[in-house]
């Protein structure tokens, strides 16, 4: 067991209050499948193993975690697409199992990636159909579609078939679709995945504006920058459990590293790296090959400058650049999920 | 939005989407010629129990059934692949209406099959088009499209529960052709299969069309088809709700 560490915010015993828009309590989901042709063998996979958190109205709450950590399963349970194996969850006070229709009326679900749209139809036709499915009154549909298209900047391309859209345009259309019925709660599952930096920034700005307008947003992401920029609170999940939850600053502080020194160098031997690992106060040394050079990251527990000691150990190596910085959310995240023996880069 | 609004909008959208499928357009062009040829040679050389035109109607109904079956199957498989199946379930509109819109659109495209098959039979094989009661004939076509759409909803349940339900469409095509008397009279089938024929809408659909074409009593089979259609509707409303809940428990909505 890896008990969740709550570094700020409300406790694990959740109370329903008017401010709580989303709450999950000990949510679990097990997938059952079978394998083999003649001798069928049943397999059970525990994707989510007791997740609890709450999101306040108007807040952006982020869920980050490696692939297979249970992010999408969690979001699908909260949006009523998957029934939890046990535990309970509510959205705006409505139970996701027993009040599914009430939940569905009040949420928007935005999926990341290429799926979730009718490729052969135009962007406008897609929105019109979903407006009908989401019960937007006939007289209001044109105005709503125009307004969401304008919000995501697709009004000039709306008549084109979706199959010709770029990844970024598709993603913006997803956001527009999720907003059609003006839901108070939005679930965004990796909304910027595969989108170029400018497109991703535009989507982030839209999400920030929505939260500023009072919408509650729960988003999953692999981007630590996105989580740090947008989210008031973040839950790091791994192996189906919340490892830590709190503000970005609190999560950064929850890591043991206090400083990170980055050295771009060449001609670095394994023995040199071992010597660096042996320095007092050094927590971890990671490397990344960059063409003919090596980027060495030294995480240390001490705030004091380790540069002289590091330089001494690198004697004989060719140093191209050296800098020190505060640990980022990504550093803390890698440390947290590495502790569980599982890190999968994007 | 009232259910008919959802059905109308979904029907228009899926009609548009299906008619943009290259595979489907190819099937529309080739299938009627093949079916017309089957009708002509089968009914010309066999012990004829109906006129050549009524035979062509039978093969046209075969096309209507195939188009509904494959069209709905293709639309739902594509929806699963595109990830729109989950969004359809997630919408507050009851699933029955959004699925019926898809199957109704497929059945509507099947009307083309009846028209093209009879036209091909006329143009290529000289089979005369003779309809004694055009009003009842039109009513028969309309009720056939709606009831086949409703039957499609029941079959669609499998698509929500099983990822590879598309294989089912191949399995169901020919038995229904035979059971509904589209190729051979129902009277020639073994006794145990006759009650199965009665609960299948195409049985009454083809009987209505043939009766309207020959000038005999078309009301009785038309009423039977409406009755069967209502049964599909009531069953579909119940089954789809149950299937949706089960799909959320089994996690069978996404592709993987």
Residue-wise DSSP of A54-101: EEETT-EEEEE--TTSSHHHHHHHHTTSS--SEEEEEETTEETTTSHH
Is B67 in contact with B106 (CB distance < 8 Å)?
Answer: yes
The larger pLDDT score, comparing residue B164 to residue A262, is at: A262
**pLDDT value of position B47:** 60
Question: Does the distance separating the beta carbons of A136 and B13 come in below 8 Å?
Answer: no
B contact set with A (CB within 8 A): 1, 5-6, 9-10, 13, 16-17, 20-21, 81-84, 86-93, 98, 245, 248-249, 251, 253
CA distance A111 to chain B (A): 9
CATH 3.40.50.300 maps onto chain A at 5-253
Residue matched to tokens 């994007």: A346
**pLDDT value of position A216:** 95
Contact list in B for residue A135 (CB cut-off 8 A) is: 1, 92-93
CA distance B214 to chain A (A): 42
**pLDDT value of position A6:** 44
Nearest-angstrom CA–CA distance, A80 and A63? 18
CA distances for B213 relative to B56, B129, B130, B217, B247, angstroms: 11, 9, 6, 10, 44
**pLDDT value of position A339:** 64
The SS3 of residue A341 is coil
Q: Tell me if the pTM is above 0.90.
A: no
By C-alpha distance, the chain A residue nearest B79 is: A118
Vertex A315 angle, CA A313 and A319, to 5° = 105
Nearest-angstrom CA–CA distance, A256 and A301? 6
Q: Which of A101, A115, A134 lies nearest to residue B82, judging by beta carbons?
A: A115
Vertex B47 angle, CA B45 and B48, to 5° = 90
Question: Does the distance separating the beta carbons of A133 and B82 come in below 8 Å?
Answer: no
Q: Above 60 in pLDDT, residue A17?
A: no
Contact map slice: A 69-108 vs B, CB within 8 A: 79-83, 101, 104-105
Mean pLDDT, residues A148-172: 90
Mean pLDDT, residues A164-170: 89
Nearest-angstrom CA–CA distance, A318 and A81? 55
Extract the residue ranges of chain B whose pLDDT is less than 50.
255-256
Q: Above 60 in pLDDT, residue A238?
A: yes
**Entry field: residues in chain A:** 346
**Among A5-14, A162-171, B139-148, B183-192, the range of highest mean pLDDT:** B139-148
pLDDT, chain A, mean:
85
Q: Which residues contact B120 (CB under 8 A, 6 or more apart)?
A: B32, B33, B35, B36
CATH class assigned to A256-326: alpha beta
CATH 3.30.70.260 maps onto chain A at 256-326
Residue B232 — φ and ψ, nearest 5°? -60, -40
Contact list in A for residue B98 (CB cut-off 8 A) is: 133
Choice among A97-106, A253-262, A299-308, B23-32 with the minimum mean pLDDT: B23-32
- The domains of chain B are located at 3-250
Is A32 in contact with A44 (CB distance < 8 Å)?
Answer: yes
**pLDDT value of position B1:** 61
A5-253 has CATH 3.40.50.300 classification = yes
* pLDDT, tens only, A193-232: 878 888 888 888 889 998 998 999 999 998 888 899 899 9
Query: What's the DSSP call for residue A49?
Result: E
Q: Above 70 in pLDDT, residue A11?
A: no
Q: Which token pair is B11?
A: 């029907």
């Amino acid at each position: 067991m890896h008990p969740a560490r709550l570094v700020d915010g409300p406790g694990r015993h959740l109370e329903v209050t008017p401010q709580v828009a989303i709450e999950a309590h000990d949510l679990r989901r097990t997938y059952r499948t079978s394998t083999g042709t003649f001798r069928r063998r049943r397999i059970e996979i525990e994707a989510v193993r007791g997740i609890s958190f709450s999101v306040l109205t108007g807040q952006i709450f982020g869920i980050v975690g490696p692939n297979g950590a249970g992010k999408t399963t969690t979001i699908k349970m909260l949006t009523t697409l998957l029934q939890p194996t046990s535990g309970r969850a509510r959205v705006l006070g409505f139970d996701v199992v027993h009040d599914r229709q009430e939940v569905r009326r009040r949420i928007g679900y935005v999926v990341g990636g290429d799926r979730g749209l009718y490729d052969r139809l135009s962007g406008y036709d897609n929105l019109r159909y979903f407006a009908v499915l989401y019960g937007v009154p006939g007289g209001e549909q044109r105005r709503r579609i125009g307004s969401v298209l304008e919000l995501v900047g697709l009004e000039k391309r709306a008549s084109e078939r979706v199959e010709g859209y770029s990844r970024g345009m598709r993603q913006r259309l997803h956001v527009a679709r999720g907003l059609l019925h003006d839901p108070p709660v939005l679930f965004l599952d990796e909304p910027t995945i595969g989108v170029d930096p400018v497109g991703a920034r535009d989507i982030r700005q839209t999400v920030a504006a929505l939260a500023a307008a009072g919408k509650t947003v729960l988003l999953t992401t692999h981007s630590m920058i996105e989580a740090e920029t947008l989210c008031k609170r973040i839950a790091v999940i791994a192996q189906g459990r919340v490892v830590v939850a709190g503000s970005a600053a609190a999560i950064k502080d929850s890591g043991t590293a206090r400083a990170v020194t980055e050295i771009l160098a060449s001609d670095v031997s394994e023995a040199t790296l071992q010597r660096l690992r042996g320095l007092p106060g050094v927590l971890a040394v990671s490397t990344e090959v960059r063409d003919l050079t090596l980027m060495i990251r030294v995480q240390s527990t001490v705030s004091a400058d380790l540069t002289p000691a590091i330089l001494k150990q690198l004697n004989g190596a060719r140093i191209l650049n050296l800098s020190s910085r505060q640990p980022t959310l990504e550093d803390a995240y890698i440390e947290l999920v590495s502790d569980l023996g599982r890190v999968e880069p994007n | 939005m009232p259910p008919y609004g959802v059905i109308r909008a979904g029907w228009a959208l899926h009609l548009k989407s299906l008619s943009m499928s290259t595979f489907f357009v190819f099937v529309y062009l080739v299938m009627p010629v093949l079916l017309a040829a089957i009708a002509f040679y089968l009914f010309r050389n066999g012990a004829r129990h109906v006129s050549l035109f009524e035979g062509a109607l039978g093969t046209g109904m075969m096309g209507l059934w195939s188009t509904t079956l494959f069209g709905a199957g293709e639309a739902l498989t594509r929806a699963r692949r595109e990830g729109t199946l989950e969004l359809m379930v997630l919408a507050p509109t009851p699933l029955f209406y959004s699925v019926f819109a898809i199957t109704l659109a497929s059945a509507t495209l099947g009307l083309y099959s009846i028209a093209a098959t009879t036209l091909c039979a006329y143009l290529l094989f000289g089979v005369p088009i003779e309809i004694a009661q055009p009003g009842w004939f039109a009513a028969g076509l309309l009720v056939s499209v709606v009831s086949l759409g409703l039957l499609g909803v029941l079959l669609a349940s499998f698509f929500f529960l099983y990822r590879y339900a598309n294989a089912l469409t191949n399995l169901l095509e020919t038995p229904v052709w035979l059971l509904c008397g589209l190729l051979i009279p129902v009277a020639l089938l073994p006794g145990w299969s006759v009650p199965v024929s009665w609960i299948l809408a195409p049985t009454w659909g083809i009987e209505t069309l043939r009766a309207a074409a020959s000038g005999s009593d078309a009301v009785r089979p038309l009423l039977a088809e409406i009755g069967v259609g209502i049964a599909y509707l009531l069953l579909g409303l119940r089954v789809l709700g149950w299937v949706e809940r089960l799909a959320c428990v089994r996690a069978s909505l996404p592709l993987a």
